[in-house]
């Protein structure tokens, strides 16, 4: 697919599709985890191991949220507003995917820890990460502001 085909009319739709697809994968794993927990299936029950996993999950989640925001901001700062709209949108898409992937990585780890331990603290941490994830949901206004798009360019998203 040529960049021009994706960069204007389908850009917002494709970005939203990526965002939701990554999120639905997390939700599917959460549902599987909850069903297994309901059936009493967990892999470990040691309180010491659960505590270690909890510390790892919290530290990793905080690091990933901070890194995702900083990397996204840095990537946006690297976009020259003299570039073509297509190039700016492509760079925005790359930065957006990286931001989503970092938060999703932490989310998936917390869900795996929930699967292993059955401890609902991990599900709670996932909810917090999901809120951070959704704070970055794409919108035409956010994209237009970040890339300083004209009204005509914004309308083409």
Length of the chain in residues, anyone? 157
Return the pLDDT at 113: 94
Q: Which of 147, 60, 66, 143 is nearest to 105 (CA)?
A: 60
For the chain, how many structural domains are there in total?
A: 1
Which are the contacts of 152, defined by CB distance < 8 A and separation ≥ 6? none
Q: What is the DSSP letter of 91?
A: H
Q: Which structural domain, as residue segments, surrounds residue 95?
A: 3-155
The answer to whether 79 and 88 are in contact (CB under 8 A) is yes
Q: What is the pLDDT along the chain (157 residues), one digit of tens a residue?
A: 344 434 466 888 999 999 999 999 999 999 999 999 899 887 776 788 888 999 999 999 999 999 999 999 999 999 888 888 889 999 999 999 999 999 999 999 999 999 998 899 999 999 999 999 999 999 988 998 888 888 888 877 7
Q: CA 118, 123, 124: angle at the middle one, nearest 5? A: 130
The answer to whether 9 and 156 are in contact (CB under 8 A) is yes
Return the pLDDT at 5: 37
Return the pLDDT at 2: 41
């Amino acid at each position: 697919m040529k960049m021009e085909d994706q960069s204007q009319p389908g850009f917002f739709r494709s970005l939203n599709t990526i965002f939701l697809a990554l999120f639905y994968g997390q939700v599917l794993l959460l549902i599987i985890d909850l069903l297994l927990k309901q059936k009493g299936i967990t892999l470990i029950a040691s309180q010491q191991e659960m505590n270690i996993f909890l510390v790892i999950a919290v530290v990793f989640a905080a690091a990933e949220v901070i890194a995702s925001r900083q990397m996204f901001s840095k990537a946006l700062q690297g976009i020259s507003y003299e570039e073509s709209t297509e190039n700016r949108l492509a760079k925005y898409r790359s930065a957006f995917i990286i931001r989503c992937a970092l938060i999703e990585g932490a989310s998936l780890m917390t869900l795996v820890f929930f699967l292993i331990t059955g401890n609902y603290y991990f599900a709670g941490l996932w909810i917090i990460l999901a809120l951070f994830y959704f704070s970055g949901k794409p919108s035409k206004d956010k994209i237009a502001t970040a890339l300083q798009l004209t009204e005509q360019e914004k309308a083409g998203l």
